[in-house]
Amino acid sequence: MANQGPYKDFFDIKVAKRKVLKRKRNKSFWLLISFPLILFTGFVFLIETNKNTVILSLFGHLPYEEIDKNNLIEVQPGISVHEDMYNDLLAMQRDAERDGVFLVFLSGYRSIELQKEIFFYLKSIRNQIASERARVSAPPGFSEHSTGFAIDIGDATNRATDFEVEFENTRAFNWLETNAAKYHFRLSFDKDHQSVDYEPWHWRYEGSVEALRIFNSESELK
Ligand SMILES: [Zn+2]
């Protein structure tokens, strides 16, 4: 009865309509399938992003690569720095001396291997957990000293303040605070730094593009 007489055309239309309906169901089906896929992709993306955040810093210290040894130059017996900052560092020391201030360099480039010994050895003998140790020393691979662009400075007339916060009361620190920027040096860990304790003796260079490139993400940790 359905394909006969005056209803023939009517039922042809019904078949065509059914095809359209079928296509609509297919669309919903794919939407249902793709929704969990989109969710899954989102989760993977979030996990990957968090992974990157963890790798980015460790206890507030950023990762730094070790300088190519060919770019190191000795600035004082036993103390080497990146060749880019050699002239500015010596000029700063010489000009301070003219003002009657005597800067002594305490530590420059340190290999990741040496930083490993410093970090874990001192952590052990001082009975500190890693997060405590990291407030005063960078974990290996996360020290500005491995770049050759960091220098620890003391007052040659007041060696008792070497690596001590009391260094901030010396003439050397006072002079550096006023003049260091002229030679492209700045404090790395000032009193406002959230993750690392104040280190008035630790200065870093920002007088070459390479130095700036290495340190340019530092502000993210503030
Ligand atoms: Zn230092």
Tell how far the Cα of 107 is from the centroid of ligand 1, in angstroms.
7
- Statement to judge: residues 36 and 111 lie in one domain: no
Residue pointed to by tokens 């001082």 = 126
**208 pLDDT higher than 80:** yes
Tell how far the Cα of 128 is from the centroid of ligand 1, in angstroms.
19
- Statement to judge: residues 39 and 97 lie in one domain: no
pLDDT computed for residue 207 by the predictor: 97
Tell how far the Cα of 152 is from the centroid of ligand 1, in angstroms.
5
Tell how far the Cα of 175 is from the centroid of ligand 1, in angstroms.
18
- Statement to judge: residues 154 and 85 lie in one domain: yes
Q: How many domains does the chain have?
A: 2
Query: What is the CATH number for 79?
Result: 3.30.1380.10
Strand partners, 107: 152
Tell how far the Cα of 95 is from the centroid of ligand 1, in angstroms.
22
Tell how far the Cα of 81 is from the centroid of ligand 1, in angstroms.
12
**pLDDT tens string 14-65:** 555 555 555 556 777 777 777 777 777 766 666 565 554 445 789 889 899 8
Whole-model pTM above 0.75? no
Closest to 141 measured CA to CA, from 110, 108, 112: 112
- Statement to judge: residues 95 and 142 lie in one domain: yes
Tell me which residue range forms the domain holding 214.
69-221
Q: Look up residue 103 and give its two tokens.
A: 């800067």
- Statement to judge: residues 81 and 34 lie in one domain: no
- Statement to judge: residues 157 and 136 lie in one domain: yes
Whether 61 maps to a domain, the answer reads no
For residue 193, how many other CB atoms are within 10 A of its CB? 17
Closest to 142 measured CA to CA, from 164, 150, 121: 150
Residue 200 phi/psi, 5-degree rounding, is -65, -15
